[in-house]
Structure 1
Amino acid sequence: MPRELWLRLLTDAQERMDVLVFSGTFYAQAQPKIARSLPELDGCEIRLHSTTLYASLFRYDDDLLVNPHAYGEPASANPTFHFRRLDGGTIAGHYMSSFERVWAEAVPWSGAEI
């Protein structure tokens, strides 16, 4: 996935940006501005989960990046698929339902030590 696409989706997002990852280290390394002082930002909510994820999910408004996980491989060594929510479409909604189930079980985090 080209870095330019990640940055475009991030900067063009108007309503929401949702990220569901296991550790997300590659995300913070590729997007250093993302990891700075997030818990203090208005409208930003961070939650911690203990779910075994089968895919990392990144939603930018109606665009969704899905990074399925292959056992024993880092996220960056696996493919990332780009989906867009469309009227009548089901794929993006399918993955976002998964996101919502994990989010509902996750614990809010204020930025303090774990």
Structure 2
Amino acid sequence: MPNERLRDALLRNGLTLEQVAKAVGVDQKTVERWITKNRTPYPKHRHKIAAMARESETYLWPDSIAPERKAETAAAELVQVFPHRNAVPVELWDRLIKEASETVEILVHAALFLVERPRFTKDLTAKAAAGARIRLVFGDPESSSVALRGEEEQLGDGTLAARIRNALTSYRPLVGVDGVEMRFHNTTLYNSIFRFDDEMIINTHVYGFQGAHAPSLHLRRLSAGDLFETYSESFESVWNLAKPATF
């Protein structure tokens, strides 16, 4: 079975078989076999290819990393645990937003706290103009999942939907901006995901608690890691199920 993840990653980054072969010091036919026959490269080659393809080793070759190494690397990916989202320092949010240059992916219900920052949408617009890919997924205010979450968080009938609509008015300037895509989801939001290039804030969700009062994880992506990639794949799954946002 071909390694479609590797093929896609190379194509997405404009890398030819010849370029990869030259970079890692192997024959072009060897690189072709890594793709068409799903052969697994040596570790030193995997690391270099993953860096070139801007993907993790565990994503490109899921079975190549020993379980014990995966566990060790996952622990290294976890930078810090915060008792609740409100405890994440403002300085950390500032740095993540400022330094992101390639990817911003946000999966939330409303993320109203982000647009309380006066320059947030302007910063996203500037990043998109500079070539960054911005993908924002909000809870559909008309959906059953939003209504249920509002009940579970004891917010009162329609409160969460109203909060989402309120947030969307602040995100409206991003409508039609090249490089910015926004969608609505109707899924169970197990975690809010805030990705800025190779770092993430994961806001876990706890039954009966509002998101701001639930624990948060600061993750930093490592090539051989699995933790960051798990949340990245989760974002992608929700994104593929979501529909274009309407304002």
TM-score interval, normalised by the smaller of the two chains = 0.7 to 0.9
Provide the residue aligned with 2:211 in structure 1.
Answer: 75
Provide the residue aligned with 1:108 in structure 2.
Answer: 244
1:62 Cα deviation from its structure 2 partner: 0.4
Q: Secondary structure at the match of 2:175?
A: helix
Equivalent pair of 1:70/1:78 in contact (CA under 8 Å): yes
Partner residue of 1:20 out of 104, 107, 115: 107
Alignment of 1:40 onto 2:176: yes
Q: Secondary structure at the match of 2:98?
A: helix
Higher RCO by CA contacts (8 Å cutoff, separation 6 or greater): 1
Q: TM-score normalized by structure 1?
A: 0.88
Partner residue of 1:10 out of 97, 106, 122: 97
1:26 Cα deviation from its structure 2 partner: 2.7
Provide the residue aligned with 2:186 in structure 1.
Answer: 50
Provide the residue aligned with 1:85 in structure 2.
Answer: 221
- Matches of 1:88 and 1:23 in 2, distance apart? 32
Per-residue CA deviations over 1:14-67 (Å, capped at 9, x if unaligned) read 1011100022223333x3433451223220000000111110000000001101
- Matches of 2:97 and 2:200 in 1, distance apart? 11
- Matches of 1:23 and 1:93 in 2, distance apart? 23
Aligned length: 110
Paired amino acid for 2:198: D
Per-residue CA deviations over 1:79-103 (Å, capped at 9, x if unaligned) read 2101111110000000111100000
Larger helix proportion, structure 1 or 2?
2
- Matches of 2:112 and 2:210 in 1, distance apart? 10
- Matches of 1:14 and 1:27 in 2, distance apart? 18
How large is the Cα RMSD of the aligned pairs? 1.4
1:11 Cα deviation from its structure 2 partner: 1.0
Equivalent pair of 1:26/1:76 in contact (CA under 8 Å): no
Partner residue of 1:61 out of 194, 197, 205: 197
Q: TM-score normalized by structure 2?
A: 0.42
- The structure with the larger Rg is 2
Structure 1 moving runs of 4+ over 6 Å = none
